[in-house]
Amino acid sequence: MAGSTGRAAPLHPGAWWLWALGLGTAATRTTNPLLLALLLAVSAYVVTARRPDAPWARSYGAFVKLALAVLVIRLVFAVVLGSPIPGTHVLVTLPEVPLPDWAQGIRLGGRVTAEGLAFALYDGLKLAALLVCVGAANALANPSRLLKSLPAALYETGVAVVVALTFAPHLIADVHRLRAARRLRGRPDQGLRGLLHVGLPVLEGALERSVALAAAMDCRGYGRAAEVPAAVRRTTAALTLGGLLGVCAGTYGVLTAEGGAYGLPVLAAGVAAALAGLWLGGRRSVRTRYRPDRWDARAWLVAGSGAAVAALLVLAGARDPAGLHPGVVPLVAPALPLWPAAACLLGLLPVLVTPAPDTPVAGPAGPGPDSVPDPEPAVRKPS
């Protein structure tokens, strides 16, 4: 039979989130502005190359603006409230406001040094990079497909999270649409008047979507659960609660020097108990999955690239802390450590192993499973 053209299967959304969280973890392990800028460039390039044309994928710019706002606010605080870093290169001296004795250690105004600004820049850039990585995950991972991939026990919680995550992208899309419509009509879209004329329809549209979503969830039997024995419910609660406590205690042990002996065993036991609790909790769910996303080799490569970046930056921080945390006293230009920089470039692997959005691939003739529109996140079993 003659071959025809189909579409590449979408990547599992969980792989995009693991990749982004790996880059975000790497960003929290360093204050070197060169490495942070490299992580930002890597995430931006992957988003530019693999972001689909969907409303939820247009939120990356909003996260970038939020990161810039965080960076500016951090610098303003360093100028107004001062910095704990002593410095000798005074840039400007602001009028200092005298404060009472109970506010010792806090000052308003005074000397603004280059060392203090550099420290604030490095610290703010770390948080900005983390926000941009979260924005990359929002722009690349389809939230409805991510909801479909959640364990059955977390379905109701996942719906609330997905609705919260998609609220901002839809809000931004509505603002752009209404501003463009007002410009085409020759009406102002700037200033307080423009904000009122754009803001009210946006809020009205958000309310209408909320009502429509509530009606759709009610029609599909959202929240309906199967009857399970009381012993199973108690066992599920005990395993889930005990597992979460074990994860917290094990994580604390791993991160502290005193808990190195018991940290990993307690963490492993907590994860196992939590997974068992989720498995038992899934028995209450009365829904099925239609065309579930498969975790294939591409998903392993994408998630593994983010995890590798995080692991290598953690290793680099233990072996060369000065390279990942450059000092500001004395004030010197930061150097780019070579092999941590090469580790950051591993985050570009998704561009090589995943197809571009809507890229045709060879497939069998006739309609296939990828030729129909995306299904709803879940299909309820008939009662």
* DSSP state letters, 201-233: HHHHHHHHHHHHHHHHHHHTTTT-B----HHHH
CA distance 214 to 117: 49
Q: Which residues contact 355 (CB under 8 A, 6 or more apart)?
A: 8, 361
Percent of the chain at pLDDT above 90? 22
Question: What's the average model confidence in pLDDT over 25-45?
Answer: 92
| Average confidence score pLDDT of the chain | 78
Question: What's the average model confidence in pLDDT over 323-327?
Answer: 86
What was the pLDDT predicted at 42? 95
The residue behind tokens 């502290």 is: 256
What was the pLDDT predicted at 287? 63
| pLDDT, greater one: 346 or 100 | 346
- On the question of pLDDT at 283 being above 80, the answer is no
- On the question of pLDDT at 13 being above 50, the answer is yes
What was the pLDDT predicted at 46? 94
Q: Categorize the per-residue pLDDT at 143 as very low, low, confident or very high, splitting at 50, 70 and 90.
A: confident
Cβ–Cβ < 8 Å for 292, 375: no
Cβ–Cβ < 8 Å for 347, 25: no
Q: Mean pLDDT highest for which of 69-83, 135-149, 206-220, 275-289?
A: 69-83
Q: What are all long-range contacts of 213-217, with beta carbons under 8 Å and residues at least 24 apart?
A: 213/163, 217/159
What was the pLDDT predicted at 19? 94
Q: Which two tokens stand for residue 28?
A: 């929290």
CB atoms under 10 Å from CB of 32, counted, come to: 24
Cβ–Cβ < 8 Å for 302, 347: no
Q: Mean pLDDT highest for which of 100-104, 154-158, 188-192, 349-353?
A: 349-353
CA distance 267 to 205: 45
- On the question of pLDDT at 36 being above 90, the answer is yes
Q: Burial level of 8, CB count in 10 A (0-12/13-18/19+)?
A: middle
What was the pLDDT predicted at 195? 67
| pLDDT, greater one: 55 or 180 | 180
Question: What's the average model confidence in pLDDT over 349-372?
Answer: 59
For the chain, domain boundaries: 4-149+294-359, 227-284
